[in-house]
Structure 1
């Protein structure tokens, strides 16, 4: 008996990818009855679903960000690699290497297999399990950095550039713009691996998720909130020679006045394009990404041995053309609500939460 092609049982709807025989959506853009969530970033994890299936870490992140009452009417934690049968569809979650709890969704029905990667990276990350390629008939991939210009350098080398700058400017504070979920914690862990044992100071908007990571078993070392403004408008010590993590662009707000002549830094894959750093006044751009770069996207398509690749968001045309030259059929899905890149963007800073009474 011939196995059905995945496009006969997995289809694109206005709400997102829908597995028809299982009656379940993968990372839907609107509230649905049953959803499988690949990871906790808000362009994949939306509030209001009646039932949610995800890793325990992703469910914890959703509750922390949305509130328990909006993270799913019922929530089912699924261990990585454990199979689950829904109406004859076998479902497994395998590591995606993107952020803590991130998973690829593997679905098999009548001998046909499709893997929905969510967002992923191939580089090592001390804060989450590494990507595992799964051979399949159709691989669903992102294409955030699907242009040849995007080739991410080793993250350890970028951390060494940061430490060299701190040695060169000991009288200044280094403020690094990072996204609150994934990037902040990865940067902290990379600094610890590089031997930075001193406290790392956090903008208030980053504290809750760092505490959550630690509660989920990811050690981050000593972390402290940035001291409040003193009467004369400056922190007592200004944190000269220290590292501060903050939402992107926080250093351009009045919040930064408490810091000692801050060096503006940011960590993002987009900073491979130097003009982006120049336009935003970033003195020290750190090219550290939680997404696969051009070479990794192509290598992954080869590793999973899929004759067909579906592209959810990003630079679809370039990736589809490159895969076609390698004999792989590729098409863009144009899913609604994707491509926001909230974990890689450099938006205006979020306000710092007010201190508790």
Structure 2
């Protein structure tokens, strides 16, 4: 009989550890061997000796951390390719979260676990879609694991933005969005909606947008928001980090309409507290129905939850005959394209 994953995959102070393989998945402190699911800083930390990830995630880590901090030795593994580490078979599947994001699939002595990292099930022109992988234990996030979180189609939210722009053609719509993943997805969604004008962006977004294009993701014409005068920015869509839309930086814009793209914009109080005039419910995480559907789709008898609303998800899974377990991993959700 295959060993249960809890006998060879355990939580330590450094994070989730595969004991027979001798490696961690998304460790929170420097370790000898790490497999990284994606490039957000709450999953990809500096200082590991040996790092394995998709080629895109390794490129993102080098861009954000520097070559010397993204792993002393870096090993790229493409989606669907497999290798064996001390008897543990390892392969990666797309997670659909950001460019390069991957689920880490592990199999040892006939027992299979999938560590999904962060993931979404919605359309994203900038990265491959999530691919479910059958397993005995599925390790999932639970960022939006409450019934209230049901994300509308992203195209619908882009339509609301363009309608607001038509209604207020002299105002600058500035969208707060995270630099990795969310910014590039918004740009690509705007291009799909027919917005072909140059998009002014905050300097903090430039490097990763350039990297995305280098990695084969076309974004169209982008210009620095800082070089344009107020009148030149009237009627435009500007992208900036969430912190910038409410500080002195935004004063250079022409009568700005503060927008924020996040799954949290489903909660009106959050939008109100942040001074957001146009909340856009565009998330890079699975919503409540998608979390439940995914856990069913992978046919796992157990689901382990890394962070988020564990209690609600455990209860709902239990009603489907699936055992849920909270791992209480620390340091998750600190920097994320939500």
Under a length normalisation based on structure 2, what TM-score does the superposition of the two structures give?
Answer: 0.99
- d(CA) in 2 for partners of 1:236 and 1:316? 46
Residue number in structure 1 paired with 2:265: 271
- d(CA) in 2 for partners of 1:226 and 1:165? 20
**CA contact 1:15–1:336 (8 Å) conserved in 2:** no
Q: Deviations over 1:96-115 (max 9, x none)?
A: 00000000000000100000
Confirm or deny that 1:313 pairs with 2:307.
yes
Structure 1 residue 236 displacement after superposition: 5.3
- d(CA) in 1 for partners of 2:147 and 2:220? 37
Q: Deviations over 1:82-109 (max 9, x none)?
A: 0101111100000000000000000000
Work out which of the residue numbers 223, 235, 239 in structure 1 matches 2:233: 239
Structure 1 residue 252 displacement after superposition: 1.9
- d(CA) in 2 for partners of 1:236 and 1:27? 43
Q: Deviations over 1:129-148 (max 9, x none)?
A: 00000000000000000000
Q: Residue 292 of structure 2: SS of its match in structure 1? A: helix
- d(CA) in 2 for partners of 1:169 and 1:240? 10
- d(CA) in 2 for partners of 1:107 and 1:342? 25
Confirm or deny that 1:324 pairs with 2:332.
no
Residue number in structure 2 paired with 1:12: 11
Structure 1 residue 341 displacement after superposition: 4.7
Q: Residue 127 of structure 1: SS of its match in structure 2? A: coil
**CA contact 1:173–1:238 (8 Å) conserved in 2:** no
- d(CA) in 1 for partners of 2:37 and 2:83? 15
Residue number in structure 1 paired with 2:148: 149
- d(CA) in 1 for partners of 2:293 and 2:156? 22
Q: Residue 285 of structure 1: SS of its match in structure 2? A: strand
Q: Deviations over 1:278-331 (max 9, x none)?
A: 111100000000000000000000100000000000000110010001100010
**CA contact 1:120–1:290 (8 Å) conserved in 2:** yes
Count of aligned pairs: 338
Residue number in structure 2 paired with 1:252: 246
Structure 2 stretches lacking a partner, 5+ long: none
Structure 1 residue 337 displacement after superposition: 1.3
Work out which of the residue numbers 272, 279, 287 in structure 2 matches 1:285: 279
Residue number in structure 2 paired with 1:351: none
* CA RMSD across the alignment: 0.9
Residue number in structure 1 paired with 2:107: 108
- Runs (4 or more) in structure 1 with deviation over 3 Å come to none
- d(CA) in 2 for partners of 1:8 and 1:286? 43
Structure 2 matches for 1:155-170, cutoff 5 A? 155-170=154-169
Structure 1 stretches lacking a partner, 5+ long: 230-234, 345-357
- d(CA) in 2 for partners of 1:252 and 1:105? 38
- d(CA) in 2 for partners of 1:272 and 1:127? 23
Residue number in structure 2 paired with 1:353: none
Under a length normalisation based on structure 1, what TM-score does the superposition of the two structures give?
Answer: 0.93
Confirm or deny that 1:62 pairs with 2:37.
no
